[in-house]
């Protein structure tokens, strides 16, 4: 979306997941999509790109390797797996980024752009001799004909109603770079929005700004959980979860809920928390109370029953947390439709986000997009959640690409404002 909106002609794409590739093909039939493993398809990708270029120079390779082995959540799972003897120290998905230099050596693009989580800066991979090396350093060594600039970008600072930080790493071919001054400013545009606005920056776009006026939903039953707007519906909650959610204040987690007994209302029960253990894994407290200190009533905190005993549910302390409407949303995740996910309870309504709300907060609704496969089959809710949660907001990336194209490659493109229904 971002590349095309900024003026790019997307010649070739590659996607490992077949269902995601089919969605891409439905929306961009003019682009050659290679379905499958880049390690097995690199020769075909190179040949098709050269064929489509027909003698022209390639401007951009955009690489978005998997982040699960690099991200904080992914690293936590990796550490647990290593500790329990189920996984190696190096996540094999991180190695996929090391295949990009091969494409670069054959196609010689003017720019190579990597998008990933900030933790990519500290990610280790194996080089050809099986030695552990820093990933960014490895890429620099392999792409000696390029200079590198990088920045951790907060997309909310580019007018996206979502707080999502990503590392944007840009390699510029040396013959292009030597004609330019101040590469950092040429690659990355000035931030247009801020949490504390100035004369030159607008305030962050908030959740309320984007979804505050939509039809209200409630997860109590099937009748109140849906609307006539496509994708604007939510899962119904069972009575226990609804009790937890309905007692969760703005910006707080259900794990911190206080007494719901109308004859008590005690609000000084110990709240939840977590800390990192010796293995570096963030562990939630196991001693957080589930009964009111004053009246002994069960608190509306997430609990499970095992062998006739009730205990606190295990999970992240940001789970079952109600969003603040006066801020951009936290990062849209693959579990966006579930109240137990990270800060995904609606600011004022007792439910999770709808898919439509997530699309708006992710800025997808600012573009033409059809949630169907190349065979015309509607995308499942699961596929939509995963596609949103494992991508980045296209509007923010469009701002960066548009600026980069104009100030590094020297062309300007007027955006066609085509909004989807």
The pLDDT assigned to 138 comes to 84
Bridge partners for 165 per DSSP: 154
Write down the H helix ranges in 63-202: 72-83, 100-107, 135-142, 174-177, 183-187
For the chain, give the number of residues.
Answer: 421
d(CA 417, CA 38): 33
Which of 134-148, 215-229, 248-262 has the least mean pLDDT?
Answer: 134-148
Q: Which whole number is the average pLDDT over 363-390?
A: 94
Spatial CB neighbours of 53, under 8 Å, sequence gap ≥ 6 = 11
pLDDT-based confidence at residue 128 (cuts at 50, 70, 90): confident
Q: How do 193-194 and 274-276 pair as beta strands? A: unpaired
The pLDDT assigned to 370 comes to 96
Q: Has residue 247 got a pLDDT over 90?
A: yes
C-alpha dist (Å) from residue 13 to 61, 139, 161, 373: 10, 21, 28, 16
Helix (H) or strand (E) holding 60: strand 60-63
Which of 6-20, 140-154, 187-201, 302-316 has the least mean pLDDT?
Answer: 302-316
Q: What is the pLDDT of residues 345-354, one digit of tens each?
A: 999 999 999 9
| 96 secondary structure, DSSP code | G
The pLDDT assigned to 150 comes to 92
pLDDT-based confidence at residue 307 (cuts at 50, 70, 90): confident
Helix (H, G, I), strand (E, B) or coil at 310: strand
| 79 secondary structure, DSSP code | H
Q: Which whole number is the average pLDDT over 240-263?
A: 96
Among residues 23, 365, 17, 301, which one has the least CA distance to residue 161?
365
The pLDDT assigned to 84 comes to 57
Spatial CB neighbours of 257, under 8 Å, sequence gap ≥ 6 = 244, 247, 248, 299, 300, 301
Top-ranked range on mean pLDDT: pick from 98-102, 165-169, 291-295: 291-295
Q: What are phi and psi of 321, to 5 degrees?
A: -110, 135
| 419 secondary structure, DSSP code | -
Q: Has residue 395 got a pLDDT over 90?
A: yes
The pLDDT assigned to 418 comes to 46
Position of tokens 């600026």? 403
Q: Has residue 90 got a pLDDT over 70?
A: no
Position of tokens 């010796």? 278
For the CA atoms of the chain, what is the radius of gyration?
Answer: 24
Q: How many Cβ atoms from other residues are within 10 Å of residue 321's Cβ?
A: 23
Percent pLDDT > 70 in the chain is 87
pLDDT-based confidence at residue 374 (cuts at 50, 70, 90): confident
The pLDDT assigned to 137 comes to 83
Percent pLDDT > 90 in the chain is 72
The pLDDT assigned to 417 comes to 47
pLDDT-based confidence at residue 421 (cuts at 50, 70, 90): very low
Mean pLDDT across the chain: 88
Fold (topology level) of 2-202+387-409:
Rossmann fold (3.40.50)
């Amino acid at each position: 979306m971002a590349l095309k909106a900024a003026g790019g002609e997307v010649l070739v794409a590659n996607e490992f997941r077949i269902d995601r590739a089919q969605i891409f093909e439905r929306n961009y039939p003019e682009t050659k999509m290679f379905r499958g493993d880049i390690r097995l398809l690199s020769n075909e990708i190179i040949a098709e790109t050269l064929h489509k270029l027909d003698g022209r120079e390639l401007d951009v390779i955009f690489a978005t390797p998997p982040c699960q082995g690099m991200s904080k959540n992914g690293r936590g799972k990796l550490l647990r797996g290593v500790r329990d003897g189920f996984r190696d120290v190096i996540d094999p998905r991180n190695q996929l980024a090391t295949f990009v230099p091969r494409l670069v050596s054959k196609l010689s693009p003017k720019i190579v752009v990597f998008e990933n989580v900030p933790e990519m800066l500290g990610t280790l991979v194996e080089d050809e001799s099986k030695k552990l090396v820093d990933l960014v350093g490895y890429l620099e060594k392999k792409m000696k004909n390029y200079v590198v600039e990088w920045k951790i970008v907060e997309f909310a600072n580019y007018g996206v109603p979502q707080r999502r930080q990503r590392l944007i790493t840009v390699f510029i071919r040396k013959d292009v770079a030597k004609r330019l001054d101040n590469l950092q400013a040429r690659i990355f545009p000035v931030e247009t929005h801020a949490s504390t606005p100035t004369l030159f920056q607008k305030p962050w776009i908030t959740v309320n700004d984007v979804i505050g006026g939509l039809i209200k939903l409630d997860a109590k039953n099937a009748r109140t959980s849906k609307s006539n707007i496509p994708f604007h519906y939510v899962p119904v909650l069972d009575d226990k979860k609804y009790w937890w959610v309905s007692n969760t204040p703005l910006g707080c987690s259900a794990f911190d809920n206080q007494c719901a007994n109308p004859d008590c209302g005690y609000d000084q029960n110990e709240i939840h928390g977590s800390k990192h253990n010796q293995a570096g894994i963030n562990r939630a407290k196991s001693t957080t109370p589930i009964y009111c200190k004053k009246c002994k009533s069960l608190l509306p905190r997430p609990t499970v029953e095992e062998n006739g005993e009730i205990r606190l549910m295990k999970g992240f302390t940001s789970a079952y947390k109600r969003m603040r409407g006066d801020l951009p949303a936290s990062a849209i995740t693959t579990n966006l439709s579930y109240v137990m996910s990270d800060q995904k309870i609606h600011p004022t309504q007792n439910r999770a986000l709808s898919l439509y709300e997530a699309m708006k907060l992710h800025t997808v609704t600012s573009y033409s997009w059809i949630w169907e496969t190349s065979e015309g089959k509607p995308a499942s809710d699961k596929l939509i959640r995963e596609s949103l949660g494992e991508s980045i907001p296209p509007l923010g990336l469009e701002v960066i690409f548009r600026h980069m194209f104009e100030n590094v490659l020297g062309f300007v493109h007027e955006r066609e404002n085509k909004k989807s229904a």
